[in-house]
């Protein structure tokens, strides 16, 4: 079997704990002569073992330098509640399809505690290294955790574009939000729209920043940007006061609320105001119409992420960062401006 890159050995544990490899072996095997090890030294070794997720059971020790055909999946947001299941299901379907094709089992890490409202992959009892490598999903992934994964050489792939970590680039399979949003803006301008606006965070997660970058690439740096916060009716008034005829909304549920506010005010969508949605719903929503926008290749992203991870594990050379095209959707919320 091929060796697993990044899998910790007793020598690594010894280096991190500042002790000899013999000391680590004595602690792990609980041999009689381990009694001569100072309690503080023993605790230091055990702490490193807990923090790194070193697999210390007999079978895992025999497989320390081999692949066991298990791939981990870690999500920074829960995937089982109905509020997120619809969004994450296509990613997981693609992950499962590719893992099945490659003959690997999947291990969904669910024991991560929630700290300050966020899940963390690194915690005292993490079992990360039971798996050969891991696929990470989440709108926002802590920079510190990515940096640690890179520093420790643990094989992983992110679903979604990620900025570089401290110590090196982060492998990922993402969606090309910049190009998709720019193409959509070009299409809107070709219909005669000149006053455009962007509604959404546009910052924080890389996916948000990419959408705003694509918008500004065509619409210009001075085009209005409405940050989240005000109710949809207030945002609508701001858009109308600025003479906006087409608004690009980052989240579908926000687009639905803006659409409802426009109808309540007696406006015609899309003749008086075109409303475009930049992606799939991240929260439960029942759109009253098919919104013009684009679709995220979620199943393909999950499938390609596993393909990339297994390639890394087997030493296959090639690009470790890739963006997939989004599919533009015709919809019914875009038309030439009435004025």
Which position has the higher pLDDT, 112 or 196? Answer: 196
Query: What is 177-296's CATH topology?
Result: Rossmann fold (3.40.50)
Q: Which two tokens stand for residue 263?
A: 């109808």
Neighbours of 139 (CB within 10 A): 15
Q: CA 322 to CA 81: how far, in whole Å? A: 29
Q: What percent of the chain has pLDDT over 70?
A: 90
Which pLDDT tens digit goes with each residue over 266-278?
999 999 999 999 9
Q: Domain 10-62 carries which CATH code?
A: 1.10.260.40
Where in the chain is CATH 1.10.260.40? 10-62
Which position has the higher pLDDT, 54 or 230? Answer: 230
Mean pLDDT of 122-143: 88
Q: CA 110 to CA 146: how far, in whole Å? A: 18
Which pLDDT tens digit goes with each residue over 99-119?
999 999 999 998 887 777 778
Per-residue confidence band for 66, with pLDDT thresholds at 50, 70 and 90 = low
Per-residue confidence band for 80, with pLDDT thresholds at 50, 70 and 90 = low
Q: CA 121 to CA 142: how far, in whole Å? A: 10
Where in the chain is CATH 3.40.50.2300? 70-175+299-325, 177-296
Q: Domain 70-175+299-325 carries which CATH code?
A: 3.40.50.2300
């Amino acid at each position: 079997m091929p060796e697993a890159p990044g899998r910790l050995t007793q020598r690594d544990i010894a280096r991190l704990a500042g002790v000899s490899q013999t000391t680590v072996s004595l602690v792990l095997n609980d041999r009689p002569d381990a009694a001569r090890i100072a309690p503080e030294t023993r605790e230091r070794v055990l702490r490193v073992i807990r923090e790194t997720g070193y697999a210390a059971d007999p079978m895992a020790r025999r497989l320390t330098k081999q692949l066991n055909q298990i791939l981990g999946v870690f999500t920074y947001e829960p995937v089982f509640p109905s509020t997120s299941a619809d969004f994450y299901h296509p990613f997981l379907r693609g992950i499962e399809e590719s893992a099945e094709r490659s003959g690997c089992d999947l291990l969904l890490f669910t024991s991560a505690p929630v700290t300050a409202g966020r899940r963390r992959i690194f915690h005292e009892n993490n079992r990360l290294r039971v798996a050969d490598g891991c696929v990470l999903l989440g709108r926002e992934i802590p920079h510190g955790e990515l940096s640690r994964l890179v520093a420790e050489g643990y094989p992983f792939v992110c679903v979604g574009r990620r900025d570089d970590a401290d110590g090196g680039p982060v492998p990922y399979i993402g969606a090309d939000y910049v190009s998709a949003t720019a193409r959509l803006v070009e299409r809107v301008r070709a219909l005669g729209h000149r006053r455009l606006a962007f509604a959404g965070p546009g910052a924080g997660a890389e996916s948000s920043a990419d959408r705003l970058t694509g918008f500004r690439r065509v619409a210009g740096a001075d085009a209005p940007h409405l940050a989240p916060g005000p109710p949809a009716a207030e945002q609508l008034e701001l858009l109308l006061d600025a003479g906006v005829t087409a608004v690009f909304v980052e989240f579908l549920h926000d687009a639905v609320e803006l659409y409802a506010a426009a109808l309540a005010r007696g406006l015609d969508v899309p003749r008086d105001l075109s409303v475009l949605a930049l992606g799939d719903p991240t929260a439960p929503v029942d759109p009253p119409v098919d919104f013009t926008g684009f679709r995220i290749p979620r199943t393909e992203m999950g499938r390609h992420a596993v393909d990339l991870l297994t390639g890394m594990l087997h030493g296959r050379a090639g690009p470790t960062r890739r963006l997939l095209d989004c599919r533009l959707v015709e919809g019914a919320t875009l038309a030439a401006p009435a004025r």
